[in-house]
A and B are shown apart, each in its own frame.
Chain A
Amino acid sequence: MAEKATPTLTPPPVPRELERVPLVLNQRGFGWISDRVTAITEGSAPFWWWAAFIPSVLLLGLLGFMLAYQITTGVGVWGNMHPVMWGWDIINFVWWIGIGHAGTLISAILFLLRQRWRTGVNRAAEAMTIFAVMCAGIYPALHVGRVWFDWWLFPFPNSNGPIWPQFRSPLMWDVFAVSTYFTVSVLFWYMGLIPDLAVMRDRAKTKLRQFLYGLFALGWTGSNRHWSNYEKAYLLLAGLSTPLVLSVHSIVSLDFSVSQLPGWHTTIFPPYFVAGAIFSGFGMVLTLLIPLRKICRLEEIITMRHIDVMCKVTLATGSIVGYAYAMEFFVAWYSGSAAEQFHFMNRALGPYQWGWLPMIICNVVVPQLFWFKWFRSNLWAVFIISIIVNVGMWFERFVIIVIGLHRDFLPSNWGYFKPTWVDVCTYLGTFGLFFTLFLLFVRFLPMVAISEVKGVTPQADPHHPLGGAGHVERIPDDNEGATSV
């Protein structure tokens, strides 16, 4: 019957130049997607995984040693010294937390905007968010000096009065912003994982894997009711996460802009920080996914179209950041404030010019190459530019914090900041933490949202010529029927 009706139901052919590149190439079936995504998590770990994992764990050990040294000795082991009382600790905090933002943007905002391409990259990007926030969280927790009093940051009834944290301080808002961000990101990530954990459970060969994946799959069977609840919860969490994409880095920026310091005390900071965060986050996503899609043979799921779109986001946010840099200089001139003008002259021409120049080159100049299709479609170019972006964003935080602090209103108060070896090793150590967690994620969890990717394939759409009940025979066997979309 369906055969007969086909001629009248077929839509007119789309002109070739208007045809969209499908999100999964080569009309791959559901079974193929499951097999390909879970391949790395099953069987013994490949050589490259160990080759990446062992150095990561060693760096993680370095982090543990550095933190133990800092806790037992005091914050004096860092280079923070008058007048630069915020050094690498806050630079790296802002840098890591900024990186996290791409994950939330991809998973929440692009979900609400119905950007179907997000399905290929959202899982890995969300994992990146969570691990980056963990790396970031280390710094504020440690820089207070007496780590064992960190719990005083939270308001709780106490026998000291009771006394409460200073709610008017942006540093206090930061505690709430970052902890909320982390909690919601973990929830969102885990929620999205549930159907895929059920896939992993159903594919599991050993009792232990069945038990563990089964435990975290929470008894998912793929019934209509489960899917209905899941979709509602996912939408709600996306709605909750969306303001967080904008609020967290806005609040981080208020740590600076609420103060009275020239170069910090500006209203442009929140949007400028958010754009910078998304910029660096997409840089990091590209840095991670370009090698991963190659090694794990996911080129048909994370396609060149995905890379292209992410390059465009990087270009757009990088341009916003460049505009913000220019606007800061303009406002310094336009305000007529001598202190502000001095600060910006000092930024570009002062003793830290070697930090300002790479910031401009990496963040403003280099990403402009993404205007050209050649650069967006050349993986080596994209990979290198994505790393340059994050180098540039590190220098941006360095410029803001160190140049902002080292010369204030009083020349007798000036100084020059130098990091110590502990600063450097702690920063390297956070990479250990990040990559250890990320590699464990790659090895033990599906790094692409299997069910969501299946949902955006043509055969998942009953109205598509390739899909629907009439063409069931064209859909390859789905060996984990419970989770088919």
Chain B
Amino acid sequence: MSAIFPKWTNRLPMMIIVGVLLVGTAVTAGVWYYFTPKYTRVGYQPIQPVPFSHATHAGQLGLDCRYCHTGVEKSWFSNIPAASTCMNCHNQVLKDDPRLTLVRESAASGKPIPWVQVHKVPDFVYFNHSVHVNRGISCVECHGPVDQMEEVYHAKPLSMAFCLECHRHPETKVRPLDKITDLNWRPESEAAQLEFGRRAREEWRVEALQNCSACHR
């Protein structure tokens, strides 16, 4: 039989196996790292029309989150305040500062400031702020240390895995209701957290909801 293939092709199967293994590992590792919200969402920090500093207002001045986001305890939606809320102070403080031009215009005209939304869940996810906040889930669990952010960035992945981590073990995250907006609150110890968490789950009837329609309604 005349040779149809040159001799080096004998090594081809091994080369293909090794090549597929290498490429396969690289692709798997790449997808694992780059294709999840941990990479694609965390760190997202759009340029906002007004460079509002949460670090100054919530951190340094100690404003409660609910001073501005008034709907968070009552509604599925945590609202962005109207410019008139800003003007409660800023008609006295920094009243001529050029950085606040847009705020003053908005308060005068009633036309909202075009803030860029940072934290979004997809349309097929139902998320209710009030039910979380009223059952001991702090702002910090999903939004990160906002009181230390100059401008807000995406601190947590907000992936389904992220949601389920807590939905599977709510007792590790629930906290006293008066500490919800205290972003720097820490439990005394892990044991204390678990003890409180178990009691809270029982008394507040916090369920570990994992059925699809809990969120995908």
A complexed with B: yes
Which residues between 148 and 190 of chain B lie within 8 Å of chain A, taking CB atoms? Answer: 157, 159-161, 164
Q: What are the residues of chain B within 8 A of A162 when measuring CB–CB?
A: 161
Q: Answer yes or no: B36 CB below 8 A from chain A CBs.
A: yes
Query: Once the chains bind, are B5 and A214 in contact (CB under 8 Å)?
Result: yes
Query: Once the chains bind, are B160 and A159 in contact (CB under 8 Å)?
Result: yes
Which single member of A161, A201, A202, A211 contacts B160 (CB below 8 Å)? Answer: A161
Q: What are the residues of chain A within 8 A of B32 when measuring CB–CB?
A: 157
Which residues between 344 and 361 of chain A lie within 8 Å of chain B, taking CB atoms? Answer: none
Q: What are the residues of chain A within 8 A of B160 when measuring CB–CB?
A: 159-161, 163
Given contacts A159-B36, A159-B38, contact A211 B161 (CB under 8 A): no
Query: Once the chains bind, are B1 and A159 in contact (CB under 8 Å)?
Result: no
Distance between Cα atoms of A160 and B38 in the complex (Å)? 12
Q: Answer yes or no: B4 CB below 8 A from chain A CBs.
A: yes
Q: What are the residues of chain A within 8 A of B38 when measuring CB–CB?
A: 159
Q: Answer yes or no: B145 CB below 8 A from chain A CBs.
A: no
Q: What are the residues of chain A within 8 A of B35 when measuring CB–CB?
A: 159
Q: Which residue of A lies closest to B212 (CB)?
A: A163
Q: What are the residues of chain B within 8 A of A157 when measuring CB–CB?
A: 32
Q: What are the residues of chain B within 8 A of A160 when measuring CB–CB?
A: 159-161, 164
Query: Once the chains bind, are A159 and B161 in contact (CB under 8 Å)?
Result: yes
Query: Once the chains bind, are A159 and B4 in contact (CB under 8 Å)?
Result: no
Query: Once the chains bind, are A221 and B37 in contact (CB under 8 Å)?
Result: no
Q: Answer yes or no: A210 CB below 8 A from chain B CBs.
A: yes
Distance between Cα atoms of A221 and B36 in the complex (Å)? 49
Q: What are the residues of chain A within 8 A of B5 when measuring CB–CB?
A: 214-215, 219
Q: Which residue of A lies closest to B168 (CB)?
A: A161
Q: What are the residues of chain B within 8 A of A158 when measuring CB–CB?
A: 161
B208 to chain A, nearest CB (A): 13
Query: Once the chains bind, are A214 and B161 in contact (CB under 8 Å)?
Result: no
Query: Once the chains bind, are A161 and B4 in contact (CB under 8 Å)?
Result: no
| Per-position binary interface string of chain A over residues 125-143, scored 1 when its CB falls under 8 Å from any chain B CB and 0 otherwise | 0000000000000000000
Query: Once the chains bind, are B37 and A211 in contact (CB under 8 Å)?
Result: no
Distance between Cα atoms of A158 and B159 in the complex (Å)? 10
Q: What are the residues of chain B within 8 A of A214 when measuring CB–CB?
A: 4-5
Q: Answer yes or no: A472 CB below 8 A from chain B CBs.
A: no
Q: Which residue of A lies closest to B163 (CB)?
A: A161
Q: What are the residues of chain B within 8 A of A211 when measuring CB–CB?
A: 4
Interface centre among A160, A210, A215 (most CB of B within 10 A): A160
Q: Answer yes or no: A233 CB below 8 A from chain B CBs.
A: no
Q: Answer yes or no: A338 CB below 8 A from chain B CBs.
A: no
Q: What are the residues of chain A within 8 A of B36 when measuring CB–CB?
A: 159
Q: Which residue of B lies closest to A222 (CB)?
A: B1
**Chain A interface size range:** 10 to 19
| Per-position binary interface string of chain B over residues 61-104, scored 1 when its CB falls under 8 Å from any chain A CB and 0 otherwise | 00000000000000000000000000000000000000000000
Q: What are the residues of chain B within 8 A of A309 when measuring CB–CB?
A: none
A187 to chain B, nearest CB (A): 16
Distance between Cα atoms of A202 and B2 in the complex (Å)? 9
Q: Answer yes or no: A58 CB below 8 A from chain B CBs.
A: no
Which residues between 18 and 37 of chain B lie within 8 Å of chain A, taking CB atoms? Answer: 32, 35-37
Q: What are the residues of chain A within 8 A of B161 when measuring CB–CB?
A: 158-162
Q: Answer yes or no: A153 CB below 8 A from chain B CBs.
A: no
| Per-position binary interface string of chain A over residues 212-227, scored 1 when its CB falls under 8 Å from any chain B CB and 0 otherwise | 0011000101000000
Distance between Cα atoms of A482 and B4 in the complex (Å)? 15
Query: Once the chains bind, are A202 and B1 in contact (CB under 8 Å)?
Result: yes
Distance between Cα atoms of A214 and B2 in the complex (Å)? 11
Distance between Cα atoms of A160 and B35 in the complex (Å)? 12
A214 to chain B, nearest CB (A): 4
A338 to chain B, nearest CB (A): 34
Q: Which residue of A lies closest to B36 (CB)?
A: A159
Q: What are the residues of chain A within 8 A of B37 when measuring CB–CB?
A: 159
Which residues between 191 and 219 of chain A lie within 8 Å of chain B, taking CB atoms? Answer: 201-202, 210-211, 214-215, 219
Query: Once the chains bind, are A201 and B159 in contact (CB under 8 Å)?
Result: no
Query: Once the chains bind, are A482 and B1 in contact (CB under 8 Å)?
Result: yes
Q: Which residue of B lies closest to A161 (CB)?
A: B164
Query: Once the chains bind, are A221 and B1 in contact (CB under 8 Å)?
Result: yes
A8 to chain B, nearest CB (A): 41
B183 to chain A, nearest CB (A): 26
Q: What are the residues of chain B within 8 A of A219 when measuring CB–CB?
A: 5, 10
Interface of B with A (CB < 8 Å)?
Answer: 1, 4-5, 10, 32, 35-38, 157, 159-161, 164
Query: What are 14 A-B contacts with C-beta separation under 8 Å?
Result: A159-B35, A159-B38, A159-B159, A159-B161, A160-B159, A160-B164, A161-B161, A162-B161, A163-B160, A201-B4, A214-B4, A214-B5, A215-B5, A482-B1
Interface of A with B (CB < 8 Å)?
Answer: 157-163, 201-202, 210-211, 214-215, 219, 221, 482
4 smallest beta-carbon distances between A and B, as pairs = A160-B160, A159-B36, A161-B164, A214-B4
Q: Other than A159-B35, A160-B161, A482-B1, give 10 A-B pairs with Cβ distance below 8 A.
A: A157-B32, A159-B38, A159-B157, A160-B159, A161-B160, A162-B161, A163-B164, A202-B1, A219-B10, A221-B1
